[in-house]
Chains A and B, each alone.
Chain A
């Protein structure tokens, strides 16, 4: 009886993911399903959506613990934007020889932006829902996207074809091999984050509590920054900037199972995957036969949600 209760949230989450995956294979921009379309295009896309959704939700949950602020996630903090800048620079330097070339520069961009964010967060009171962290993030986002625009203006535009749709978050480039590689790396990184679950729990309660709990705060922080930057780099280099998955998913998972990362991390992974698989399906179906960038779909749902969270915090205070 006890074990059944423990496993119930996982079973429900995995069930939903399986359903969304099947739905994503069934529905798309053409209605008469052809087997070759399913295996060649929809399957790699659904796998990539799974990987990227997982990565974003876990990165969001880790950032929220790191800054002990529930409004954190890669997109709103501008880290996705830094990562995209890294990828664009990598692209214009001709590093697209492999998925990993772009992922490397995307990682460098993400870690630099995260460093800047961290530096400023130490100088201002940014904990527990404080909005100044979000403001720093918005500024970093502007900085990143304007530098991307600058890069696009000075480099040969032929080589950067299609980059605008990629910047808006786009899974249409998914290939089976690349998607599977992304999924494997995200699973490994997620496991690494899960290994730091105790540190995350302690950090969420604030730095002083973490120290009294015997956590080496600086060490734990560095590891978590590194791992989240890796997760963001994998997702941005594969699918561009997709916002708000990392905000919405951890929020609801926390509502369901509480804020212990033992359960949070795996559930965020599965729900993040489910949400992005469904969002990408919507992106393909809504404007048939045209496809929307999936980032537009997640932003339409996520941005009002973010506002709602802010408004609620204000009334509580």
Chain B
């Protein structure tokens, strides 16, 4: 019995030492992400991996010249151009977990609506800190900007950027609210099959923000695939074909816009209101969205 006490003391001392060693000088913060998960993120993440193009852009907005902290991006992340040279971790819905893990990230940024839940969970199970963001509405976009800024450990400069963004949105909203005759818009994202912007997308809010109306705004899906018959019935005042490329002048998109001439009964066709719109700044919710919204406003209402 005399030996019982030391037998307990020694392991507990080791235990205490071990506890001190792991809990020691904690340089991590806790971030509650869009899925309600508490994620431990180091103070100054230096090995950042972004899993959708828009988050690559948003992280770059906050990092400024510190871009080398981004070590991995999803395929087709092309803005800012420096990110084209960063290693790819695969398409946003078919990520290579091997690649991500081998980059030893200290912060992974993902989206709830873009990336697959199972792959996110898998990364988390492997101990990778993944901050998931949601960007289905403008308030979620503003919230995701704050969360990304927080996760990156950037404060003053990013606060200014976010304030500028919020101000820009407020200005656009005020201008949009004054529009008397709201144009009915169809925003086309793909044509075979036809994919348009529905109700559950921030782009629906974007159309409303600039003072127009989305003909598929009542759709319960984010990106519905209506039949052309249904489009005839909705009869939009204007069809906007969004590009997924470098510029608005690629022949592919011009052809797509021209192909609407097959439906001469459409009001948009009769009034020559089928236009191509440069999609990249509009479709990716980052700081560039202000620029994209300005393009949208200009495409719908001109310079007035």
Contact = CB atoms under 8 A, between A and B. Distances in A.
A175 interface: yes
A37 B99 CA distance: 9
A289 B96 contact: yes
B99 A30 contact: yes
Contacts of B116: 161-162
Interface of A: 28-30, 32, 34, 36-37, 40-42, 157, 161-162, 165, 172-173, 175, 284, 289-291
Interface string B101-140: 1101000000000001111001001100000000000000
Given A41-B97, A290-B91, 5 more contacts: A36-B101, A162-B117, A173-B118, A289-B90, A291-B96
Contacts of A165: 94
Interface in B60-107: 88-91, 93-94, 96-99, 101-102, 104
B98 A37 contact: yes
A29 B75 CA distance: 15
Given A289-B96, A290-B90, A37 B102 contact: yes
A41 B95 CA distance: 13
Contacts of B101: 34, 36-37, 40-41
Given A162-B119, A289-B90, A290-B94, A40 B102 contact: no
Contacts of B122: 173, 175
A37 B96 CA distance: 11
Interface hub of A29, A41, A157, A289 (most chain B Cβ within 10 A): A289
A29 B96 contact: yes
B134 to A, nearest CB: 12
A281 to B, nearest CB: 12
A289 B101 CA distance: 13
A88 to B, nearest CB: 15
A290 B98 contact: no
B91 A41 contact: no
B218 to A, nearest CB: 18
Contacts of A173: 118, 122
The 3 closest A-B pairs by CB, nearest first: A162-B116, A30-B102, A29-B96
Interface residues of B, number: 21
B125 A175 contact: yes
A161 B102 contact: no
Contacts of A289: 88-90, 96, 98-99
10 contacts: A29-B98, A30-B98, A36-B101, A36-B126, A41-B97, A41-B126, A161-B93, A162-B116, A162-B118, A290-B91
Contacts of A28: 98
Contact of B99 (A29, A42, A175): A29
Interface in B217-262: 221
A137 B93 CA distance: 32
Contacts of B98: 28-30, 37, 41-42, 284, 289
Interface hub of B93, B97, B104, B119 (most chain A Cβ within 10 A): B97
Nearest to A170: B94
A297 B176 CA distance: 53
Nearest to A40: B126
Contact of B102 (A32, A157, A162, A175): A32
B100 to A, nearest CB: 10
A170 to B, nearest CB: 10
B117 A172 contact: no
Contact of A34 (B90, B97, B102, B119): B102
Contacts of B126: 36, 40-41
Contacts of A172: 97
Contacts of B104: 34
A41 B119 CA distance: 12
A40 B98 CA distance: 9
Contacts of A32: 102
B201 to A, nearest CB: 13
Contacts of A34: 101-102, 104
Contacts of A30: 96, 98-99, 102
A296 B122 CA distance: 23
Contacts of B91: 290
Contacts of A41: 97-98, 101, 126
A142 to B, nearest CB: 21
Contacts of A175: 122, 125
A290 B102 CA distance: 14
A32 to B, nearest CB: 7
Interface hub of A28, A157, A162, A165 (most chain B Cβ within 10 A): A162
Contacts of A40: 101, 126
A246 to B, nearest CB: 26
Contacts of A162: 93, 116-119
Contacts of A290: 90-91, 94, 96
Nearest to A42: B98
A41 B101 CA distance: 9
B87 to A, nearest CB: 8
Nearest to B125: A175
A39 B152 CA distance: 29
Nearest to A34: B102
Nearest to B116: A162
